[in-house]
Amino acid sequence: MEKIIIQSDRTNDKYYKIMHPSGLEILVWEMPGFSTTEALFGTKYGSINTRFKTNREDDFVDVPEGIAHFLEHKLFENEDCDVFELYAKTGANANAYTSFDKTCYLFSCSDNYKESLEILLSFVQKPYFTNATVLKEQGIIGQEIRMVQDNPDWCVFFNLLKALYVNHPVRIDIAGTVDSIAQIDADLLYRCYHTFYNLNNMVLSIAGNCDVDEVLSICDKLLQPSADISLETAFLDEPEGICQDEIIQNLPVGIPLFSIGFKSEPKSGIELLKAEIAASILLSLIAGATSPLYKDMYDEGLINSSFSSEVFTGDGYFACILGGESKNPHEIQKRLLAEIERLKAEGLDEERFDIIKKSKYGQLIRSFNNVEVCASLMLNSHFTGVEAFDTVEVLASITFDDINSQLNTLFDSQKVAISIIKSK
């Protein structure tokens, strides 16, 4: 096994990348002097992956929505005990999450990282499903789904995705629907598990107080070799335009909630990373806390401190989203679109660009002192198809001209939608 060193020439930080004989890629960032360890065992399998094909199938298979999230819940149970009981003995804090395009199992600890790593690798590779336990879980997750159906923060976001996307499954709740999870049984869970939890589709990322050779020794002992099954995923064709301009839902809220999204062309690899960084800088320039637009809207009481923005990206989707609370969301949308058109006509402020770029660069470098951030950065970069330090290089080298050239494509006034939650 070759240990490839990935190093940043700008910061001298480094981590190891190892392609294990089992098929798993292992990423280890040793951080001498740190007392904690963070480990993530992730698979490129999220809620959007409901259509797939391997060398075992003649054609693409469609499965019900919500299976990735369902699997995450069920893997914490085995025949003997609950996995959290095992972590309690090592003192580790364990968790898991399913997003639109990945599922990750993780732990953080101050001691006994080797014992905790053994637990992590063991239970994720040992699924145990029965129809009886699946039926019980359907009731639990069904209740979760019903609970978020009247959660204003949840609804304002997912309503926006429904407005932006016509066919892409990102418009569907990560947990699925009550009807879709009712179609899940033990056999279907095993089928999806053996498809997406193949080690060739996974990555182990560990950072902090750890040793690469100790990590590899545990992996050699516990990883079960996986044959490459040539996994492919697919989505229905997604048109360039949005599904609808607006979705308004009535729920009991003190102040209306809103979310405004600009849909743009999805990207992958280094091009995705460049677009993400450009979009993040543009959001700060257009409506960040130091922007003229933010100051005017805040002084007028149109927005409050809840106003924020994010770059929302993944496999087959890319959007710039702004949201918060306001008594007049439509006025915010009007002001936002007017400011974007003004900037397109008059040009961006280069001095503010330099300040924002330096600020984001400083934040990124400081984040390398955070064990959790380092482990997540390696994992997310792996699934994007880049190296972790590519983020530093792209941010350091991005120019004012690069940002200007992205303004039209990332903020197209013909591809904007608004979601509003307000009381009747």
Q: Where exactly are the structural domains of the chain?
A: 3-233, 247-422
Tokens read off for 29: 């960032």
pLDDT higher than 80, residue 235: yes
Pick from 118, 327, 103: which is nearest to 214 by CA?
A: 118
Strands 3-7 and 25-30: unpaired
How many other β-carbons are positioned within 10 Å of the β-carbon of residue 423?
A: 11
Cα(173)–Cα(385) distance, rounded to whole angstroms? 26
Pick from 66, 67, 75: which is nearest to 96 by CA?
A: 75
Residues 8 and 14: beta-carbon distance below 8 Å: yes
pLDDT higher than 80, residue 361: yes
Residues 37 and 209: beta-carbon distance below 8 Å: yes
Helix residue spans in 149-203 (DSSP H)? 152-164, 178-181, 186-196
Tokens read off for 292: 């003229």
Residue 34 C-alpha from the chain's centroid: 26
What is the arithmetic mean of pLDDT over 222-246?
96
In three-state secondary structure terms, 331 is helix
The reported pLDDT for the residue numbered 82 is 83
Mean pLDDT of the residues in the chain: 96
With bands split at pLDDT 50, 70 and 90, how would you rate the model's confidence at 279? very high
How many residues appear in the chain? 424
What is the arithmetic mean of pLDDT over 312-326?
97
**Full DSSP string of 1-52:** --EEEEE-TTT--EEEEEE-TTS-EEEEEE-TT---EEEEEEES--TT--EE
Residues 46 and 102: beta-carbon distance below 8 Å: yes
The reported pLDDT for the residue numbered 1 is 83
The reported pLDDT for the residue numbered 366 is 97
Between the CA of residue 398 and those of 40, 233, 287, 353, what are the distances in Å? 30, 32, 20, 10
The reported pLDDT for the residue numbered 316 is 96
Q: At what angle do helices 329-346 and 400-410 cross, to 10 degrees?
A: 130
Q: Which listed residue (65, 72, 238, 325) is catalytic? A: 72
pLDDT higher than 90, residue 121: yes
Class of domain 247-422: alpha beta
Tokens read off for 388: 């972790």
Q: Rounded to 5 degrees, what are φ and ψ at 283?
A: -60, -40
pLDDT higher than 90, residue 301: yes
Cα(407)–Cα(399) distance, rounded to whole angstroms? 13
User: pLDDT of 281-294, one tens digit each?
Assistant: 999 999 999 999 99
What is the arithmetic mean of pLDDT over 248-275?
97
What is the radius of gyration, based on Cα positions, of the chain?
Answer: 23
The reported pLDDT for the residue numbered 77 is 81
The reported pLDDT for the residue numbered 61 is 95
The reported pLDDT for the residue numbered 424 is 87
Cα(186)–Cα(135) distance, rounded to whole angstroms? 9
Class of domain 3-233: alpha beta
What is the CB-side half-sphere exposure of residue 255 using CA atoms within 13 A? 14
pLDDT higher than 80, residue 80: no
Element (H, E) at 373: helix 371-384
Strands 25-30 and 202-208: parallel
What is the arithmetic mean of pLDDT over 309-318?
97
Cα(226)–Cα(363) distance, rounded to whole angstroms? 39
Cα(109)–Cα(106) distance, rounded to whole angstroms? 10
- Compute the 3-state secondary structure of the chain and give helix, strand, coil in percent, each to the nearest 5: 45, 20, 35
The reported pLDDT for the residue numbered 120 is 97
pLDDT higher than 80, residue 136: yes
pLDDT higher than 80, residue 410: yes
Cα(73)–Cα(84) distance, rounded to whole angstroms? 12
What is the arithmetic mean of pLDDT over 272-279?
97
- Counting runs of H as helices and runs of E as strands, what totals does the chain give? 15, 15
The edge-to-edge listing of strands for the beta sheet with 51-53 is 61-62, 51-53, 232-233
User: pLDDT of 330-343, one tens digit each?
Assistant: 999 999 999 999 99
Q: What is the pTM of this model?
A: 0.95
Same fold, 3-233 and 247-422: yes
The reported pLDDT for the residue numbered 414 is 96
30 as an active site residue: the answer is no
What is the arithmetic mean of pLDDT over 299-313?
97
pLDDT higher than 80, residue 108: yes
